[in-house]
Chain A
Amino acid sequence: MDHFARLGLPAALELDGAALDRAYFAAQRQWHPDRFVARPAEERARASTEAAALNDAYRTLKDPLSRAVYLAGLKGVELPGDGRTIDDPDLLMEAMEAREALHEAATVDAVDALTTQARQDMQQALAGLGSLFLRDDRAAIRKTLLRLRYLDKFAEEARARRTNLQRVKA
Protein backbone atom coordinates (compact mmCIF):
# COMPACT_ATOMS: atom_id res chain seq x y z
CA MET A 1 0.00 0.00 0.00
CA ASP A 2 1.47 3.40 -0.88
CA HIS A 3 1.67 6.24 1.62
CA PHE A 4 -1.24 8.16 0.09
CA ALA A 5 -3.56 5.14 0.13
CA ARG A 6 -2.56 4.33 3.70
CA LEU A 7 -3.82 7.73 4.78
CA GLY A 8 -6.83 7.67 2.48
CA LEU A 9 -5.59 10.66 0.51
CA PRO A 10 -5.42 11.23 -3.24
CA ALA A 11 -1.95 10.63 -4.69
CA ALA A 12 -1.24 14.21 -5.65
CA LEU A 13 1.51 16.79 -5.46
CA GLU A 14 -0.75 19.32 -3.77
CA LEU A 15 -1.88 18.16 -0.38
CA ASP A 16 -3.93 20.04 2.18
CA GLY A 17 -1.72 20.05 5.28
CA ALA A 18 -4.67 20.08 7.67
CA ALA A 19 -6.31 17.14 5.89
CA LEU A 20 -3.01 15.24 6.10
CA ASP A 21 -2.78 15.93 9.85
CA ARG A 22 -6.38 14.82 10.42
CA ALA A 23 -5.96 11.61 8.44
CA TYR A 24 -2.73 10.80 10.24
CA PHE A 25 -3.96 11.41 13.77
CA ALA A 26 -7.20 9.51 13.17
CA ALA A 27 -5.32 6.51 11.78
CA GLN A 28 -2.72 6.72 14.53
CA ARG A 29 -5.47 6.54 17.18
CA GLN A 30 -6.88 3.49 15.49
CA TRP A 31 -3.56 1.63 15.65
CA HIS A 32 -2.26 3.01 18.93
CA PRO A 33 -0.47 0.30 20.95
CA ASP A 34 -2.47 1.22 24.07
CA ARG A 35 -5.58 -0.12 22.40
CA PHE A 36 -3.95 -3.48 21.81
CA VAL A 37 -2.37 -4.27 25.20
CA ALA A 38 -5.04 -6.87 26.00
CA ARG A 39 -5.11 -8.33 22.48
CA PRO A 40 -3.34 -11.44 21.21
CA ALA A 41 0.30 -11.13 20.23
CA GLU A 42 -0.31 -11.21 16.49
CA GLU A 43 -2.76 -8.30 16.69
CA ARG A 44 -0.28 -6.33 18.81
CA ALA A 45 2.40 -6.99 16.22
CA ARG A 46 0.07 -5.89 13.42
CA ALA A 47 -0.79 -2.68 15.29
CA SER A 48 2.85 -1.83 15.82
CA THR A 49 3.64 -2.47 12.14
CA GLU A 50 0.74 -0.27 11.08
CA ALA A 51 1.74 2.51 13.46
CA ALA A 52 5.31 2.50 12.11
CA ALA A 53 4.07 2.56 8.51
CA LEU A 54 1.79 5.48 9.35
CA ASN A 55 4.66 7.46 10.84
CA ASP A 56 6.72 6.78 7.75
CA ALA A 57 3.88 7.86 5.46
CA TYR A 58 3.25 11.02 7.45
CA ARG A 59 6.89 12.03 7.52
CA THR A 60 7.24 11.45 3.80
CA LEU A 61 4.10 13.31 2.77
CA LYS A 62 4.37 16.23 5.18
CA ASP A 63 7.35 17.86 3.47
CA PRO A 64 6.58 19.12 -0.07
CA LEU A 65 9.94 18.03 -1.50
CA SER A 66 9.97 14.54 -0.01
CA ARG A 67 6.33 14.18 -1.09
CA ALA A 68 7.23 15.16 -4.65
CA VAL A 69 10.18 12.75 -4.70
CA TYR A 70 7.94 9.98 -3.39
CA LEU A 71 5.18 10.67 -5.90
CA ALA A 72 7.73 10.74 -8.70
CA GLY A 73 8.97 7.35 -7.49
CA LEU A 74 5.41 5.99 -7.73
CA LYS A 75 5.39 7.20 -11.32
CA GLY A 76 8.66 5.46 -12.10
CA VAL A 77 11.04 8.43 -11.79
CA GLU A 78 13.97 7.24 -9.70
CA LEU A 79 16.55 9.61 -8.26
CA PRO A 80 20.17 8.53 -7.73
CA GLY A 81 20.57 6.91 -4.33
CA ASP A 82 23.35 7.18 -1.80
CA GLY A 83 26.74 7.38 -3.47
CA ARG A 84 25.36 7.60 -6.99
CA THR A 85 26.54 10.54 -9.00
CA ILE A 86 25.24 12.87 -11.66
CA ASP A 87 27.12 14.98 -14.18
CA ASP A 88 24.49 17.44 -15.42
CA PRO A 89 26.69 20.51 -16.00
CA ASP A 90 23.95 23.19 -15.73
CA LEU A 91 22.61 21.80 -12.51
CA LEU A 92 26.00 21.29 -10.93
CA MET A 93 27.34 24.66 -12.07
CA GLU A 94 24.35 26.34 -10.43
CA ALA A 95 24.87 24.33 -7.24
CA MET A 96 28.61 25.05 -7.24
CA GLU A 97 28.14 28.80 -7.78
CA ALA A 98 25.48 28.99 -5.06
CA ARG A 99 27.72 27.22 -2.56
CA GLU A 100 30.64 29.47 -3.50
CA ALA A 101 28.50 32.56 -2.95
CA LEU A 102 27.41 31.21 0.42
CA HIS A 103 31.00 30.44 1.33
CA GLU A 104 31.91 34.06 0.53
CA ALA A 105 28.91 35.59 2.32
CA ALA A 106 30.50 37.40 5.26
CA THR A 107 27.44 38.78 7.03
CA VAL A 108 24.12 37.46 8.29
CA ASP A 109 22.38 39.86 5.89
CA ALA A 110 24.31 38.47 2.93
CA VAL A 111 23.37 34.93 3.96
CA ASP A 112 19.73 35.94 4.37
CA ALA A 113 19.64 37.47 0.89
CA LEU A 114 20.95 34.22 -0.60
CA THR A 115 18.48 32.20 1.47
CA THR A 116 15.57 34.32 0.26
CA GLN A 117 16.64 33.75 -3.32
CA ALA A 118 16.98 30.00 -2.75
CA ARG A 119 13.53 29.84 -1.16
CA GLN A 120 12.01 31.64 -4.13
CA ASP A 121 13.76 29.28 -6.52
CA MET A 122 12.46 26.31 -4.53
CA GLN A 123 8.90 27.59 -4.52
CA GLN A 124 9.04 28.27 -8.24
CA ALA A 125 10.47 24.85 -8.98
CA LEU A 126 7.88 23.13 -6.78
CA ALA A 127 5.09 25.11 -8.43
CA GLY A 128 6.38 24.12 -11.85
CA LEU A 129 6.32 20.42 -10.97
CA GLY A 130 2.52 20.26 -11.22
CA SER A 131 2.41 20.77 -14.96
CA LEU A 132 5.39 18.43 -15.49
CA PHE A 133 3.48 15.68 -13.67
CA LEU A 134 0.40 16.40 -15.78
CA ARG A 135 2.46 16.07 -18.95
CA ASP A 136 4.25 13.05 -17.47
CA ASP A 137 7.53 14.66 -18.56
CA ARG A 138 9.79 12.32 -16.61
CA ALA A 139 13.12 13.77 -17.66
CA ALA A 140 12.02 17.25 -16.59
CA ILE A 141 10.53 15.94 -13.33
CA ARG A 142 13.81 14.22 -12.54
CA LYS A 143 15.88 17.28 -13.31
CA THR A 144 13.61 19.55 -11.28
CA LEU A 145 13.73 17.22 -8.28
CA LEU A 146 17.50 17.02 -8.46
CA ARG A 147 17.67 20.79 -8.57
CA LEU A 148 15.33 20.97 -5.57
CA ARG A 149 17.59 18.55 -3.68
CA TYR A 150 20.49 20.90 -4.22
CA LEU A 151 18.44 23.95 -3.26
CA ASP A 152 17.30 22.15 -0.13
CA LYS A 153 20.88 21.29 0.75
CA PHE A 154 21.83 24.90 0.11
CA ALA A 155 19.14 26.09 2.55
CA GLU A 156 20.47 23.67 5.16
CA GLU A 157 24.04 24.91 4.68
CA ALA A 158 22.83 28.52 4.77
CA ARG A 159 21.21 27.93 8.17
CA ALA A 160 24.47 26.51 9.48
CA ARG A 161 26.45 29.41 8.04
CA ARG A 162 24.05 31.90 9.59
CA THR A 163 24.39 30.28 13.01
CA ASN A 164 28.17 30.40 12.72
CA LEU A 165 28.21 34.06 11.73
CA GLN A 166 25.93 34.95 14.62
CA ARG A 167 28.11 33.04 17.04
CA VAL A 168 31.20 34.88 15.85
CA LYS A 169 29.45 38.22 16.23
CA ALA A 170 28.20 37.48 19.75
Chain B
Amino acid sequence: MTYSAKLIDHYENPRNIGSLDKSAEDVGTGLVGAPACGDVMKLQIKVGPDGLIEDAKFKTFGCGSAIASSSLVTEWVKGKTIDEAETIKNTDIARHLALPPVKIHCSVLAEDAIDRRSRQADRRHPHRRADEGLLGDELYARICRRPAADG
Protein backbone atom coordinates (compact mmCIF):
# COMPACT_ATOMS: atom_id res chain seq x y z
CA MET B 1 0.00 0.00 0.00
CA THR B 2 1.40 3.41 -0.89
CA TYR B 3 0.68 6.67 0.88
CA SER B 4 0.40 10.12 -0.59
CA ALA B 5 3.08 12.75 -0.02
CA LYS B 6 0.57 14.93 1.86
CA LEU B 7 -0.31 12.11 4.21
CA ILE B 8 3.32 11.31 4.92
CA ASP B 9 4.07 14.99 5.46
CA HIS B 10 1.28 15.37 8.04
CA TYR B 11 2.32 12.13 9.70
CA GLU B 12 6.01 12.99 9.90
CA ASN B 13 5.54 16.70 10.66
CA PRO B 14 2.20 16.87 12.41
CA ARG B 15 0.86 20.41 12.90
CA ASN B 16 -0.62 21.72 16.13
CA ILE B 17 0.18 18.84 18.46
CA GLY B 18 -0.50 19.74 22.06
CA SER B 19 -3.21 20.86 24.43
CA LEU B 20 -5.21 23.96 25.23
CA ASP B 21 -6.52 24.76 28.69
CA LYS B 22 -9.62 22.63 28.77
CA SER B 23 -11.20 24.60 31.59
CA ALA B 24 -10.96 27.92 29.71
CA GLU B 25 -14.27 29.49 28.75
CA ASP B 26 -13.43 29.80 25.10
CA VAL B 27 -11.90 26.34 24.63
CA GLY B 28 -13.86 23.35 23.45
CA THR B 29 -12.50 19.83 23.83
CA GLY B 30 -13.55 16.86 21.78
CA LEU B 31 -12.56 13.35 22.80
CA VAL B 32 -13.30 10.41 20.62
CA GLY B 33 -12.17 6.83 20.42
CA ALA B 34 -12.37 3.83 18.15
CA PRO B 35 -12.35 0.92 20.57
CA ALA B 36 -11.93 -1.74 17.89
CA CYS B 37 -8.42 -0.48 17.17
CA GLY B 38 -7.82 1.13 20.58
CA ASP B 39 -7.30 4.59 19.12
CA VAL B 40 -8.04 7.73 21.06
CA MET B 41 -8.02 11.30 19.81
CA LYS B 42 -8.39 14.69 21.47
CA LEU B 43 -9.10 17.84 19.51
CA GLN B 44 -9.39 21.28 21.03
CA ILE B 45 -10.35 24.62 19.60
CA LYS B 46 -10.16 28.12 20.97
CA VAL B 47 -12.91 30.41 19.76
CA GLY B 48 -12.35 34.16 19.61
CA PRO B 49 -14.90 36.86 20.49
CA ASP B 50 -15.67 37.20 16.77
CA GLY B 51 -16.76 33.56 16.68
CA LEU B 52 -13.78 32.45 14.63
CA ILE B 53 -11.56 29.54 15.64
CA GLU B 54 -8.29 31.13 16.73
CA ASP B 55 -6.33 28.05 17.60
CA ALA B 56 -6.59 24.29 17.36
CA LYS B 57 -4.56 21.50 18.97
CA PHE B 58 -4.72 17.76 18.84
CA LYS B 59 -3.35 14.67 20.49
CA THR B 60 -3.91 11.37 18.80
CA PHE B 61 -2.79 7.92 19.78
CA GLY B 62 -3.53 5.81 16.76
CA CYS B 63 -2.37 4.84 13.32
CA GLY B 64 -0.52 7.15 10.96
CA SER B 65 -3.67 7.96 9.01
CA ALA B 66 -5.46 9.04 12.18
CA ILE B 67 -2.54 11.29 13.15
CA ALA B 68 -2.30 12.82 9.68
CA SER B 69 -6.05 13.39 9.56
CA SER B 70 -6.14 15.15 12.92
CA SER B 71 -3.17 17.28 11.96
CA LEU B 72 -4.83 18.32 8.71
CA VAL B 73 -8.08 19.11 10.48
CA THR B 74 -6.42 21.43 12.99
CA GLU B 75 -5.03 23.38 10.02
CA TRP B 76 -8.33 23.49 8.25
CA VAL B 77 -10.46 24.69 11.15
CA LYS B 78 -8.34 27.69 12.05
CA GLY B 79 -9.95 30.93 10.95
CA LYS B 80 -13.28 29.25 10.36
CA THR B 81 -16.51 29.67 12.29
CA ILE B 82 -17.74 26.65 14.19
CA ASP B 83 -20.52 26.17 11.69
CA GLU B 84 -18.00 26.16 8.85
CA ALA B 85 -15.74 23.75 10.74
CA GLU B 86 -18.63 21.38 11.22
CA THR B 87 -19.11 21.12 7.49
CA ILE B 88 -15.73 19.40 7.11
CA LYS B 89 -16.44 15.85 6.03
CA ASN B 90 -14.36 12.76 6.33
CA THR B 91 -14.53 12.39 2.59
CA ASP B 92 -12.82 15.82 2.22
CA ILE B 93 -10.07 14.71 4.58
CA ALA B 94 -9.72 11.33 2.92
CA ARG B 95 -9.59 12.93 -0.54
CA HIS B 96 -7.02 15.53 0.47
CA LEU B 97 -4.71 12.94 2.02
CA ALA B 98 -5.55 10.31 -0.61
CA LEU B 99 -6.33 7.83 2.13
CA PRO B 100 -6.70 4.32 0.83
CA PRO B 101 -10.27 3.04 1.20
CA VAL B 102 -9.43 0.87 4.21
CA LYS B 103 -8.10 3.95 5.99
CA ILE B 104 -11.15 6.08 5.45
CA HIS B 105 -12.40 5.35 8.93
CA CYS B 106 -9.35 7.09 10.33
CA SER B 107 -10.70 10.29 8.83
CA VAL B 108 -14.03 9.62 10.48
CA LEU B 109 -12.27 9.86 13.82
CA ALA B 110 -11.03 13.35 13.04
CA GLU B 111 -14.37 14.51 11.78
CA ASP B 112 -16.10 13.18 14.88
CA ALA B 113 -13.61 14.98 17.05
CA ILE B 114 -14.29 18.25 15.22
CA ASP B 115 -18.02 18.00 15.59
CA ARG B 116 -17.81 17.19 19.25
CA ARG B 117 -15.43 19.94 20.04
CA SER B 118 -17.34 22.52 18.06
CA ARG B 119 -20.48 21.84 19.98
CA GLN B 120 -18.67 22.13 23.23
CA ALA B 121 -17.07 25.41 22.24
CA ASP B 122 -20.51 26.62 21.27
CA ARG B 123 -21.81 25.86 24.71
CA ARG B 124 -18.95 27.58 26.42
CA HIS B 125 -18.84 30.58 24.25
CA PRO B 126 -21.13 33.28 25.60
CA HIS B 127 -22.04 34.53 22.13
CA ARG B 128 -23.06 31.18 20.80
CA ARG B 129 -25.94 28.79 21.19
CA ALA B 130 -25.85 26.17 23.90
CA ASP B 131 -25.07 22.81 22.46
CA GLU B 132 -23.25 19.59 23.21
CA GLY B 133 -19.79 18.86 21.85
CA LEU B 134 -19.35 16.77 18.76
CA LEU B 135 -15.90 17.50 17.49
CA GLY B 136 -14.24 14.35 18.73
CA ASP B 137 -16.45 11.56 17.73
CA GLU B 138 -17.37 12.08 14.16
CA LEU B 139 -13.95 13.31 13.34
CA TYR B 140 -12.54 10.04 14.52
CA ALA B 141 -15.17 8.06 12.79
CA ARG B 142 -14.38 9.92 9.63
CA ILE B 143 -10.63 9.65 9.95
CA CYS B 144 -9.74 6.23 11.12
CA ARG B 145 -10.79 3.29 9.02
CA ARG B 146 -8.18 0.64 8.84
CA PRO B 147 -7.92 -3.12 9.07
CA ALA B 148 -7.15 -4.48 12.53
CA ALA B 149 -3.96 -6.13 11.29
CA ASP B 150 -2.54 -2.84 10.12
CA GLY B 151 -0.41 -1.15 12.78
Q: Are A82 and B31 in contact (CB under 8 A)?
A: no
Q: Are A84 and B36 in contact (CB under 8 A)?
A: yes
A-B contact count (CB 8 A): 86
Q: Which single residue of chain B is at the shortest CB-CB distance from A99?
A: B61
How distant is the Cα of A85 from the Cα of B36 in the complex, in angstroms? 9
Q: Are A96 and B42 in contact (CB under 8 A)?
A: yes
A112 within 8 A of B: no
Q: Are B145 and A85 in contact (CB under 8 A)?
A: no
Interface size on A, residues (CB 8 A): 27
Proximity bits, B41-55, A CB within 8 Å = 1, else 0: 010000000000000
Q: Which single residue of chain A is at the shortest CB-CB distance from B116?
A: A87
Q: Are B31 and A83 in contact (CB under 8 A)?
A: no
Q: Which single residue of chain B is at the shortest CB-CB distance from A92?
A: B31
Q: Which of A85, A88, A96 contacts B112 (CB 8 A)?
A: A85
Proximity bits, B88-114, A CB within 8 Å = 1, else 0: 000000000000000011001100100
A170 within 8 A of B: no
Minimum C-beta distance from A55 to chain B (A):
17
In the complex, chain A residues whose CB is within 8 Å of the CB of B104: 83
In the complex, chain B residues whose CB is within 8 Å of the CB of A91: 33
A15 within 8 A of B: no
Q: Are B112 and A87 in contact (CB under 8 A)?
A: yes
B138 within 8 A of A: yes
Within B129-149, the residues touching A (CB, 8 Å) are 136-138, 140-141, 144-148
Proximity bits, A76-104, B CB within 8 Å = 1, else 0: 00011111111111011101100110010
Which A residues are within 8 Å of any B CB, using their own CB?
79-89, 91-93, 95-96, 99-100, 103, 146, 149-150, 152-154, 156-157
